[in-house]
Structure 1
Amino acid sequence: MSTTNTPSASPSPQKPPSLLARILDSDILASFLRSKVTIVAAIVVLILFIGAAFAPFIAPTDPFDPATVFLADASIPPVWQDGGDPRFIIGTDDQGRDLYSAILYGLRVSLIVGGLGVLLAATIGITLGLLAGYFGGRVDAVIMRIADVQLTFPAILIALLIDGVVRGIFKSATREDTALYVLVISIGLSFWVQYARTIRGSTLIERNKDYVHAARLVGLPAPLIMLRHVLPNVIGPVLVILTINLALAVITEATLSFLGVGLPPTQPSLGTLINIGNRYLFSGDWWIVTFPGVTLAVLVLAVNLLGDWLRDALNPRLR
């Protein structure tokens, strides 16, 4: 009597976990949830970013629309002080603009300038760092000497230099037309060195590993090896630098605007608002400078706390 053996059904391959499942099961999320300070900092940053992104919808008025600004409302104190007006929760500035609305719009400008400046710095630094670390030799020496020279120029001096060059080239352009680009380029040229040195050091290690040698043996071009194979393995520290440098970029923009080199009053940032309020500090109108200054300090502190947490979370020695 013959029997037929039916083949047993092979187990179906397991579906790989989704990105959300990997994030929920990661050590980084557990580290984030364990730190109450980091959670508070993340909430503060999220609130500030939402306020900046939706400023036209959240702000009671457009503080830079001449049709909504009246000089008769100038220097009104916060609502809890004598002479306060319920229309202006934290008062108005010297031109009658609602300070709460001005801070939301100024925060948006500061974050745009800081974010674009950091992205420009990261792009320049990562590109030059990969080239220096992968090729070495004279390429490495030239790029690192340029980095050493750049460190001798502070952001303020670079901003003045770029502003002078732009005015010389585009003589018909006004400051309102070029101020944003000058600030972004100044921040980008001031911060790229840190990215380049970090990427270079990691690339010097990665270029001697087997997967890079294998990619060379199969004939892949150097740019493809750097972008597809080396960059994903050296990008981790850059995320930490990006977070911390965002706070530094916002401070740099505020400093330049406070000194009169940054954005004009028609395109106000937090630094411009602080500069305007500083003129009236000793006349008793303390709120004009205090609230933009507190907003800037809270933003920088919260972003720095997130950067410190991210640095520790991505460091395997601290796990």
Structure 2
Amino acid sequence: MYTHPLLEQLIDAQLAFLDQHFTQPSHIEAEFLNFYQWFRKQRLADLWSFQELHQLLQKQLLQTPTSTHFIAQIAEHLQFFLIHPSNDKTQIQDLISVLTVDQLAQYVASKRGHRERLIKTVVNNQAFSAMLSQLIQHAIQDYLDNSMVKHVPGVSQFMKMGRSVLESVTDQDLENTIQQYLQRNILKLSQMSEHVLNQRFDDDKLYHFQAELWHKIKTKPLSVLRDYIEIQDLPKTVGLGHDIWEHMRQSEYLAQQLHDGLHTWYSRNQAHTFDALLRDLNITEDLVARELSALLNPIVQNMISSGYLRERSRMLLREFYYAESTKALLQL
């Protein structure tokens, strides 16, 4: 490789200067803060276009599969949370304010229209109708076969005779008779169910129901969650959530949502400076000066001590000094 003594001396001198300059923490902090002062004044639209941001997010969120290692880490952290020893001595009320619970209860109780539409949708569903019919049929059958027979002496023989007469007249057994009656009247039964549920869950009763529920659970430890979540199944359940996401991210629906959502956000913020955008993330100039610059300093120090910064700087300086324009300037 061709070298020139003067150029090599200039390169070494500049490298020595950079080493000395950046070994001072105050210099690193000053450079970082100067960069931040410049960056915070730039407008979003001056640095990145909507198309560039959309292309990046589309590639990283929708076109790139989530790594199996990341999925395993999620399951690991959830397991760590559930088995943490502090869960045994931390109560639910230690983490959730009673004022928040009360506000939530008032909000839910006040949504009468939403609640009535939900009840109407549920009770008019075929699955609910079938369940209600089976429940009533079993209740009647149980009452006839057990309750009346046990509590009314001598009624057993009478019930058997009555059943026999009914079945001979209708040409079918009692169970089918009850079932057909329920099927013919299921609409009326559903309407009655809707009326009863709306009465049972009116604003006042629903609010007090939530209050009573809170008083029952507030002193329970967080470890009670282990009664409802199988820790050993977390890899499987987290994996199922991942499968749902994998299917969603490839859908046209999510692609359209990402495009339109980002476009709305960009349109509102493209004229804003990064200072305003960073403040939405609680990143202020004071945070940068006190915390982020302190985190950056060890990185730069390691780059210097490992020789990485010196070697990269040498490469760039050699390209500069051995360029024909620079040699001509130095008359070499």
Normalising by structure 2, report the TM-score.
0.20
Q: Which structure's CA Rg is the greater one?
A: 2
Higher relative contact order (CA 8 A, sep 6+): 2
Normalising by structure 1, report the TM-score.
0.20
